[in-house]
Amino acid sequence: MSDLPRKAVTRTAKLAALPLGFAGRTALGLGKRIGGRPAELIAAELQQRTAEQLFATLGQLKGGAMKLGQALSVFESALPEQIAGPYRAALTKLQDAAPPMPTSTVHAALEERLGPEWRELFEEFDDKPSAAASIGQVHRAVWHDGREVAVKVQYPGAGEALLSDLTQLGRFAKLLGPLVPGMDIKPLIKEMRDRVSEELDYGLEADAQAAHAREFTGDLDVMVPGVVHHGDQVLVTEWMDGVPLSEVIAGGTQEQRDRAGQLLARFLFSGVARTGLLHADPHPGNFRLLTSGAPDGPPEKWRLGVLDFGTVDRLPQGLPVEIGTALRLTLDGDAAAVHELLCDEGFVRPDRDLDPEAVLDYLLPIIEPARAEEFTFTRDWLRSQATRIADPRSPAYQLARQLNLPPAYLLIHRVTMSTIGVLCQLGATVRLREEMETWVPGFATPTADQDTTTA
C-alpha cells in the first residue's frame, strides 16, 4: 500500500475521472426520468453519489485534493437544503480525518528527518495516528522530558502531490462551482497554489505557532500549544486535549454553540491584532473546546484551542484600517465615502462606473451581522446571501461581477468567509460587533478627540 498516491499519472487519472463521473450520473438520471421515476428522487440520488465519489477521492488522495475538500466543507451551509443533506456528511468527514500512512513509512520518515536515534527523543510514541490532514498526519507521543506532545509528520512527496492536484483541479474548477453557490472556486485554487511553499515549510509553521503560543499564554479565552521541536518536515508541539469543534457542530447545546462561536469570532479578530499573523485555515478540524476536564461544565468557562498554523497571512499592523473604515461607513449609510474608499483600494476598477447607492445596497446584507448587538448565524441566512449573489437575474449578481478583489485582500476574504461558514454550521448567536469594535482598526466610531487629532 502506498503512503501517498504520488505518481502524477495516477493522481491525474483519479481527479480527471471526477467530471466524467458527474456527466455519467447526469445522463443516468435523465434516462431514469424518461423511464418515469420522480425527478426529486433522482436528483437526491445523484447528489448523494456525486458527494460520495467527490469527497472519497479528495480524501484518499490527501494533498491538494483533500485540502480543497476541507476548504469547501465549511461552506456546506450555503447549499440549498434539498441538496445540503446528501453532501453534509461527506463534506464534514473531511474536516478531521484522512486515510493514514503505513507505520513503516512513518518510522522511515522520522529516521530520515530526526536521525537514526529518533526513538531516544521520545519516552513513548503511538504508531497509530491521532489525526490526518492534507499534507501530514499527527501522532501522540511523550517527549524525553515527560511532556505529552503531538508529532506532525509530513507525507513523503506531499509537495509534488499538492501542486499536481491543484493544477488538475483548476482545470475543471467550473464543474465544482455548483457545490458552493456564489463562490468562484478558481481563485481559491490559485491562492492555494501560491502558498504551497509556505504550507510545506514546517519551520515557518513553527515560528507562527510559537508567536501565537507566547501571545496567548495564560489567556482566559484562547490556548495555543507551544512548539517543542521542529525539523525538516517534522513538527513537535505540546499535546492539547479538548472537544473537537465538529462535535459541537454535530450535537452541542445552544449554549455550547454560542460560546464556541463567540470564541471563534474573538480569535479571528484578536489573533491578527495581537500577533500580526492571521490564522488562515479556519475549518473545524483545527479547533478544540477546552473544558477544564468537565465537558458538561458551564460553557462560559470553555476556552478555544487552536491548531495548525501552516497557512498564515502576515499583517504586522493587524487587519488593514481600510477594512474597518469601509464597514463602519457602510453601516452609517455613507454611500459616497464607501464608494471612494473602494475605488482607492482597488475593489472598483478605474474603468467601472458604479452607482454608490447600488454598491451600498449590495454590501449591507452581507455585513448585517456587524449591525446588531448580537446576531444569530444560520444556514438559512448564509443560503440567502449565496442565492442573492449567485442568481444571474439579481442586481447583486450583476454588481458583484463588476467588483474586483485585490490580491492583498484575497486571504483575508477567504478566512472571513470560512469563519462565517463555520459560525453558520454552529448556528451560534454571537456579539460580533463587540469583537470588531475591540479588535478591527477603523471600525469603532471615532471619538471627538480622534477627529480633532486626525484633523
b/e per residue 157-181 (b: at least 16 CB within 10 A):
bbbebbbbbbebbbebbeebeebbb
Ordered strands of the 234-238 beta sheet: 122-132, 136-143, 148-154, 234-238, 227-231
Helix residue spans in 94-223 (DSSP H): 103-114, 158-171, 173-176, 185-194, 196-200, 202-215
Angle at 91 between CA 90 and CA 96, to 5 degrees: 100
What is the DSSP secondary structure assignment for residue 264, as one 8-state letter? H
What does residue 406 show for φ and ψ, rounded to 5 degrees?
-60, 145
What DSSP character marks residue 302?
Answer: -
Q: Is 151 helix (H, G, I), strand (E, B) or coil?
A: strand
Of 287, 271, 231, 230, residue with least CA distance to 422: 287
How long, in residues, is the chain? Answer: 455
The Cα 29–Cα 345 span in angstroms is 47
The one catalytic residue in 3, 96, 165, 281 is: 281
Q: How far apart are CA 97 and CA 102, in angstroms?
A: 15
Find how far residue 43's CA is from the centre of its chain: 28
Pull the grid cell for residue 438: 475591540
Please check whether residue 285 is in contact with residue 242, taking contact to mean a CB–CB distance below 8 angstroms.
Answer: no
Angle CA 325–326–327, to nearest 5: 90
Contact 157, 120 (CB under 8 A): no
- 353 carries an active-site annotation: no
Q: 130: which 3 cell numbers?
A: 491521532
Query: What does each C-alpha distance from 257 to 71, 160, 289, 294, 297 come to in angstroms?
Result: 21, 39, 11, 16, 14
| Rounded CA separation 176/242 (Å) | 34
> Cell digits for 52?
460520495
Query: What are the C-alpha distances in Å from 121 to residues 28, 126, 145, 238, 369?
Result: 57, 13, 9, 14, 49
| CA angle at 403 for the pair 439 and 454, rounded to the nearest 5° | 40
* Active site members: 281
